[in-house]
Amino acid sequence: MTQRFAGNFSRTFRTPSKKTLKAQVILLPDSIKIRDAHEEDLEAIVAIYNSTIQSRMVTADIEAVTIDERRPWFDAHQSDPKRPLWIAEYEGKICGWLSLSSFYGRPAYQATTEISIYLDERFRGKGIGTFFVNYAIEHCNELGIKTILAFIFGHNAPSLHLFERFGFERWGTYPGIAELDGIERDLVIMGRRVAE
């Protein structure tokens, strides 16, 4: 990907229109950066992903995944500039990642993307998720994206709230389709049109 997708963020934040953003962005230190993911980031990406599995709130995986298992997904993002995988860094340390993935991978859905955000637990609740969602929305036009979807477990209140603050709506629910530790969980489809 080109440098235009990487960014060094300062404490000042341009004021988005009401249509673009319905959330207050927590001011982050100058040392927070968002950049494209590189090959050497894959180990940290997988470690952050695996750290969310035990909570049973974020992913439907119930056992840790390996780097080799995630490589095809990683390579797909590396080979498609319209489907970025971004890294958030704080003082040179990876604190999270965001991906925009193809929805079903069929041509008619090319302007629709699925958003996924995973944060290192030490950096949760510090506004990085908010910063990431705003960053993704701001880049949708240049990526040719008109619709963003988020698939979130119904019991993951923090993530549901985050996306609702950005104007995402509940477009549907798959009731009880995930079984986590013997408990059936709903999967909520959150959606937002970002372009007409």
Mean pLDDT over residues 69-88, rounded? 96
Residue (of 62, 70, 76, 77) closest to 46 by Cα position:
70
Domain map (residue ranges) of the chain:
3-150
Measured between alpha carbons, how far is 150 from 117 in angstroms, rounded to an integer?
9
At the fourth CATH level, the homologous superfamily of domain 3-150 is Gcn5-related N-acetyltransferase (GNAT) (3.40.630.30)
Percent of the chain topping pLDDT 70 = 84
Residues 6+ positions from 77 with CB-CB distance below 8 Å: 37, 83, 84, 85, 99, 101
20 close to 138: Cβ distance less than 8 angstroms: yes
* Crossing angle (nearest 10°) for helices 42-51 and 67-79: 120
pLDDT(189) > 80:
yes
Mean pLDDT over residues 167-174, rounded? 98
What confidence tens digit (pLDDT) does each residue in 32-58 have?
789 999 999 999 999 999 999 889 988
pLDDT(91) > 70:
yes
pLDDT(93) > 60:
yes
Q: Is the pTM of this model over 0.85?
A: no
Strand partners, 88: 34, 96
36 close to 1: Cβ distance less than 8 angstroms: yes
pLDDT at residue 97 in the model: 97
153 close to 129: Cβ distance less than 8 angstroms: no
Residue (of 187, 177, 107) closest to 149 by Cα position:
187
Give the DSSP letter string of the chain.
--GGG-EE--S------TTT--SPPPP--TTEEEEE--GGGHHHHHHHHHHTGGGTSS-S--SPPPHHHHHHHHHHHHH-TTS-EEEEEETTEEEEEEEEEESTT-GGGTTEEEEEEEE-GGGTTSSHHHHHHHHHHHHHHHHT--EEEEEEETT-HHHHHHHHHTT-EEEEEEEEEEEETTEEEEEEEEEEE---
The residue behind tokens 């998720």 is: 129
Measured between alpha carbons, how far is 22 from 167 in angstroms, rounded to an integer?
6
What confidence tens digit (pLDDT) does each residue in 58-68 have?
898 889 999 99
What confidence tens digit (pLDDT) does each residue in 133-163 have?
999 999 999 999 999 999 999 999 999 999 9
